[in-house]
Structure 1
């Protein structure tokens, strides 16, 4: 299982003081050195954390893959085509939200999603769609030609009730197997941390996890290299122990 390290909140800390540090680029290079299989960045429309210059700087410096998260807008499509990341993950976006609140509604906008998928694919960029663990949404992902989905794990991660968490986990596992049987590569992410990642990592149909906020938070106390290595070890152990 691969680990994508999301460095958005390095930029959040930088922007809190309008400073030039800490550097998202430095974080990306450090993450690579200590086990990140790819670097994930979300260039939001309001530029609240990652800025355009950050994306270009990281793309030009890293040796691993860049996974660029973006909204379904013409501006972001143009940006992605200019940056040429290895992967683009299309996500829903609301200006007033603190963080992404749910999955992309592919079902209600299939023509637009298909158009963006085709344009990005034609440019040599692999497209992923960030969706909830919902059978109809996954079927729609297949119909628009997306080769990859990222399952939204927020409802699972935020569950405080054990029974509710198990229900959310079962939904994610079922969705992962459904998509995998369709030939879609399955990733997952949102709200995952060292305490809740193991059950998700045990799902063999999931290929990659994208984790950011928890790693940056843990890095305050133990350092980014140690936070990444700790997460990698936890994921490896989860995969090594029978489900």
Structure 2
């Protein structure tokens, strides 16, 4: 298997900003974290600008876009499908935008978009983002109906939510985790057949990423919380490189 067929590794730096925001001030600097991730070999940087700005601030996004542009590294902006975020994304012009569901009371993004139920709302927003030069992905559950609905929009990518898979393994429910993996495989094949690129993300760790990385349609993994957490103990460079090694070995063995 050639190096080009390996999944890209996008590093989500939201939780560097979470640590900064817990005390206020400027440290740790998420843009410096993005620079370190790029130097460690990240293929892209992901950052979520939420309505309540609990992670990234508007200025962070501007500086991240400038950094990623200068390094020829894609910035993937996660955002809710709102007029405010559409306006910000239109000015920012990131390489990629992942539309995610967002609820004020959640700790992090929980579950996927209901594309099938919101297709009339999502489609014009996606079209405007496309016209502005962004590559749009939709964060969804591994559900055939949601994939089929996504293919009816102008989105080019679906990112399959891996949270339930990660939670099943945390709970010791291997049977449930294996069933979800089967859903991933079937839905990834369906998505690709409909012309959608397939990404995966949420809750992935050194211990659980390999079976997901081995799925042949997987073109990108977006991982943040775990990598930033492990960086406390082993450093960001080492955490990214170890994740890359596990992903590479899993894909090459598939």
TM tier, shorter chain? Answer: over 0.9
Say whether residues 1:70 and 2:70 are aligned partners. Answer: no
Say whether residues 1:20 and 2:32 are aligned partners. Answer: no
User: Which ranges of 4 or more aligned residues in structure 1 deviate by more than 6 Å?
Assistant: none
| 2-structure distance, mates of 1:110, 1:156 | 26
Query: Aligned runs of 1:57-206 on 2, under 5 Å?
Result: 57-62=63-68, 63=71, 64-159=73-168, 160=171, 161-206=173-218
1:111–1:144 Cα contact (<8 Å) kept: no
Partner of 1:50: 56
Q: What is the total number of aligned residue pairs between the two structures?
A: 242
| 2-structure distance, mates of 1:156, 1:177 | 18
DSSP-derived class of the 1:22 partner: coil
Q: CA RMSD in A?
A: 0.6
| 1-structure distance, mates of 2:20, 2:220 | 28
DSSP-derived class of the 1:144 partner: coil
1:3–1:209 Cα contact (<8 Å) kept: yes
Q: CA deviation at 1:145?
A: 2.1
| 1-structure distance, mates of 2:167, 2:185 | 17
Unaligned segments of structure 1, at least 5 residues? none
| 2-structure distance, mates of 1:42, 1:61 | 16
Partner of 2:247: 235
Structure 2 length-normalised TM? 0.94
1:31 to 26, 37, 48: 37
Q: CA deviation at 1:144?
A: 1.1
Unaligned segments of structure 2, at least 5 residues? 1-6
Deviations 1:60-96 (A, max 9, x none): 0122000000001000000111110000000000000
